[in-house]
Amino acid sequence: MSTNALQACLDILTTPTETFALIKEKKHWSWAPFGLLIGTTTTLFLYYFSVVDFDWMVNKMLEKIAIENNMSQQELEITAEYMTKNSMLLSTLIGGVIGIFSVNAITALFYYLVSKAYSTTVMTYRMWLGFSWWTSMPGVVSVLLSMLVIMFSMEGLVTFEDLSPTSFGFLSNSSSPWFNLMNSLDLFSLWSIGLAALGLSNWLNLTFKQSSLIALTPTFIVYLIWALYVSFSG
């Protein structure tokens, strides 16, 4: 059994059922997965921009932008002027952190509303926000894997897409409008959904089938809307 918050971050990945029962009582421990996820993600982006061949990366991005938006050479040159290393690092850091916060905040709200229907015990939004940070721990493992990808890259020739080696992006051509959707889904996101299902089952005394459906719902809705957008915009 975990004796501290940092140990619980490891145990949530190896013995999730027992750990979820513990962290339900140790509400103040959620600072640990939150700090690890934000800290490792920030470190990843700083490391990436310190290693990557920036000119090569920009050219790769411009090639993709040109294909997706059918832009002229003049338009690409104007776009390239705004793609400085500092501006891209800053936007990536801010966008990454805001994205993590937003996803967890919305997911926590969904779980909070679900708990109103399935539990007579008062469970606050803050508890579910902490829960969402715990279920995000596979993201820390994903970040560590991305760092290894950068470390073993040849002369910094690594794209953002390369940082997700377990994504389903390989199922779609990089020039396809479906690529971003497929590339955003990876094995670690499925792991997080599995953790959420176990946690919901434990906290709300649900069957695993019930908790799995609830855990899948936020992701399903997001990807359904995304898929409809891609279908009709194309």
Sequence ranges of the domains in the chain: 5-233
16, 38, 89, 93, 224 from 42: Cα distances, Å? 26, 6, 10, 6, 29
Q: pTM, whole model, 2 decimals?
A: 0.91
**Tens of pLDDT, residue by residue, the chain (234 residues):** 778 999 999 999 999 999 999 999 998 999 999 999 999 999 999 999 999 999 999 888 888 877 777 777 787 788 888 889 999 999 999 999 999 999 999 999 999 999 999 887 889 999 999 999 999 999 999 999 999 999 998 888 999 889 999 999 888 877 788 888 888 999 999 999 999 999 999 999 999 999 999 999 999 999 999 999 988 886
Mind giving me the DSSP string for 177-207? Answer: TTHHHHHH-BHHHHHHHHHHHHHHHHHHT--
